[in-house]
Amino acid sequence: MNALLIVVLAVPAAGAAAAALLPDRVGRIAGTVAAAVALLASLPLYRDSWFSYGPAGVRPWHEVDYSWVPALNLHFHLGVDGVSYPLVVLTALLTLLCCGFTLWRAPEPGRGNTLVALLLVIEVGILGTFLALDLVLFFVFFEVVLLPMYAVIAVWGDRDRAHAARKFVLYTLFGSVLLLVGVFTVVASAGTADIVALTGGGELSRTTQLVAFTLLAIGFAVKSPLWPLHTWLPDAHTQAPTVGSVILAGVLLKMGTYGLIRVAVGVAPEGARWAAPVLGVLAVAAIIIGSLVCLAQTELKRLIAYSSVGHMGFVLLGIATLTATGIQAALIGNVAHGVITGLLFFLAGAIKERAHTGDLAQLGGLRETAPRLAGVLGFAAIASLGLPGLAGFWGEAFAVVAAIDRGGPLWTTLGVVAAVGGALTAAYFLRLLRRVTHGPAIGSLAPPTLAPVEVAAWAPLVVLALAVGLVPGLVLGMADGPVQALLEALP
């Protein structure tokens, strides 16, 4: 079973090579098959969380540990537990959907096999980030994602793609450098890069932890993105092709929040406690500002992109509370956002393709011209605004609950303000629905019906949004043990 960890990484890598080398059509098929195999291989990694008893910290369900560069004490150490498992499956699923979608239609300027290859390389990087239990390996995988994503935006993007891609790279490189310095700091002062051994702070002095947490947290905040480091996100999202946006919003942002939980909080807990109020305030600022900006947006994809800033604000608020409830909320919020926003970007892509515009003023009456599309959009928007019973609810609600539970004037205020932000979220999504699906029909959509591939790509996400909403235990159950273990390790 441990070998599956290697398979999950090796199959997409091999698929990427095959897709790049084979001719267009065959390459796309090969890549999609590889993505499917990776998803199948990731599923059996599950293990009942009752199993995980052991020392505090990280208790991987499965792990492999090879010495990679003995002289530098680098290890090829992979492992999966309840925190990473949902994200691993989500990544594999979204990549498969995107590859399948590209199989059907490659965005301009064609060369779909290259696009599929890049998506698979991104998948390897993201999966590796979620699986790595060695700090340096974590950083290596974190970096692998950067350039392929840049290429996806820069080659297959919209009109202003070069600018957006450059902004994405500059921001992310800046984050990576801080992350690297943080990793150096931790590894040099602890003498090991093993995340399992490092979790809980171990021998790190308080000063080191403060420095390390600051560096790591800013590095991850760029990726998440946390206000005010978010400005790359709307541009990248708006310009990226549909599949790029889906991967970007669905799982790439999660590398930041996952890193914050596993690495920053895990390795430098004292630093996390020290910085928690700042993180909390910034998170709430992100929620409010993201929502207000959304209310004023006139472009469909840009609106969804800014909604990501708000949603990730809830996730970060959950993490900042440093309580079991809060981190649980962050984890389920992560997964929910991945599913729902992935779906929203698929829909936005479909609408833009049919209407040839994303301008809200030029869209309208979708309910009449394309009733099915409007129905799914309505479902996704309502799920995203956090209607109870759908996936978006749990993350937002429990982040607020965790903040209130934490008590004290600061956290109570933060909880209340975040709740107001939740209401604003509802406001802008309803505004979106009013503008796009209701009102008089402007222009016509061609074709108004849904292609079978679109139905196939969206159906799993619709089902998941419903399933996670009705049975949040799907995610929370398996995360319970690991989160407890993490919190036990905190001083």
Partner 1 sequence: MEDLSLPKIDYAAVAPMLILFGVACVGVLFEGVLPKAARRVTQLVLALLGLVAALSVIVWQSDTRVLTAGGAVAIDGPTLFLQGAIIVLGIMALLLIGDRAMEHGGAFVAQAAITVGSEADRKQAVKEQGATEVYPLTVFAIAGMLLFVAANDLLTMFVALEVFSLPLYLLCALARRRRLLSQEAALKYFLLGAYASAFFLFGVALVYGFAGGVEFGTIHDSVTESTQSTVLLYAGLAMIAIGLLFKAAAAPFHVWTPDVYQGAPTPITGLMAACTKVAAFGGLLRVLYVGFDGVAWDYTPILGVVAVLTMLIGAVLAVTQTDIKRLLAYSSIANAGYLLVGVLALSKDGLSSTMFYLVAYGFTVIAAFGVVTLVRDADGEATHLSRWAGLGRRSPLYAGIFTFILLAFAGIPLTSGFIAKFAVFGAALDSGEAWLVVFGVVTSMLLAFPYLRVVVMMWLSEPGESTPTVSIPGGLTAAALVIGVVATLVLGVAPAPLLDLTTSAADFVR
Site residues (CB under 8 A) for partner 1?
Answer: 67-72, 136, 139-140, 143-144, 147, 151, 154-155, 162, 166, 169, 173-174, 176-177, 180-181, 184, 187-188
Q: Are 138 and 259 in contact (CB under 8 A)?
A: yes
In whole angstroms, the minimum distance from the beta carbon of 287 to partner 1 comes to: 31
Task: In whole angstroms, give the CA distance from residue 274 to residue 261.
Answer: 15
In whole angstroms, the minimum distance from the beta carbon of 92 to partner 1 comes to: 22
Nearer to partner 1, 181 or 462 (CB): 181
Nearer to partner 1, 74 or 426 (CB): 74
In whole angstroms, the minimum distance from the beta carbon of 10 to partner 1 comes to: 14
Q: Are 248 and 237 in contact (CB under 8 A)?
A: yes
Task: In whole angstroms, give the CA distance from residue 204 to residue 189.
Answer: 7
Task: In whole angstroms, give the CA distance from residue 122 to residue 16.
Answer: 10
In whole angstroms, the minimum distance from the beta carbon of 204 to partner 1 comes to: 14
In whole angstroms, the minimum distance from the beta carbon of 124 to partner 1 comes to: 11
Nearer to partner 1, 176 or 357 (CB): 176
Nearer to partner 1, 151 or 305 (CB): 151
Nearer to partner 1, 18 or 136 (CB): 136
In whole angstroms, the minimum distance from the beta carbon of 397 to partner 1 comes to: 39
DSSP for 342-388 reads HHHHHHHHHHHHHHS--BGGG---HHHH-HHHHHHHHHHHHHHTT-T
Q: Are 114 and 23 in contact (CB under 8 A)?
A: no
In whole angstroms, the minimum distance from the beta carbon of 263 to partner 1 comes to: 16
In sequence order, the 6+-apart residues with CB closer than 8 A to the CB of 326 are 317, 318, 319, 320, 398, 399, 402, 403, 406
Nearer to partner 1, 8 or 331 (CB): 8
Nearer to partner 1, 166 or 273 (CB): 166
Closest CA to 283 of 317, 326, 332: 317
Task: In whole angstroms, give the CA distance from residue 245 to residue 5.
Answer: 27
Nearer to partner 1, 104 or 184 (CB): 184
To the nearest 10°, report the CA torsion of 107, 246, 290, 279.
-140
Q: Are 56 and 208 in contact (CB under 8 A)?
A: no
Nearer to partner 1, 29 or 74 (CB): 74
Nearer to partner 1, 135 or 417 (CB): 135
In whole angstroms, the minimum distance from the beta carbon of 151 to partner 1 comes to: 8
Task: In whole angstroms, give the CA distance from residue 264 to residue 219.
Answer: 10
Q: Are 202 and 270 in contact (CB under 8 A)?
A: no
In terms of C-beta distances under 8 Å and separation of at least 24 residues, what long-range contacts does 165-172 make, across chains too? 165/236, 165/239, 167/231, 167/232, 167/235, 167/236, 168/232, 168/235, 168/236, 170/232, 171/222, 171/225, 171/229, 171/231, 171/232, 172/146, 172/222, 172/223, 172/232
In whole angstroms, the minimum distance from the beta carbon of 219 to partner 1 comes to: 12
In whole angstroms, the minimum distance from the beta carbon of 271 to partner 1 comes to: 17
Burial of 24 (0-12, 13-18, 19+ CB in 10 A): middle
Nearer to partner 1, 187 or 312 (CB): 187
To the nearest 10°, report the CA torsion of 452, 453, 455, 458.
180
Look up tokens 């979790």; give the residue.
199
Nearer to partner 1, 29 or 140 (CB): 140
Task: In whole angstroms, give the CA distance from residue 491 to residue 489.
Answer: 6
Nearer to partner 1, 1 or 71 (CB): 71
* CA contacts within 13 A on the Cβ side of 471: 6
In whole angstroms, the minimum distance from the beta carbon of 387 to partner 1 comes to: 42
Query: How is residue 267 written in tokens?
Result: 């390795």
Sign of CA dihedral 160, 163, 166, 170: negative
In whole angstroms, the minimum distance from the beta carbon of 173 to partner 1 comes to: 6
In whole angstroms, the minimum distance from the beta carbon of 133 to partner 1 comes to: 17
Burial of 67 (0-12, 13-18, 19+ CB in 10 A): exposed
Phi, psi (rounded to 5 degrees) for 194: -75, 115
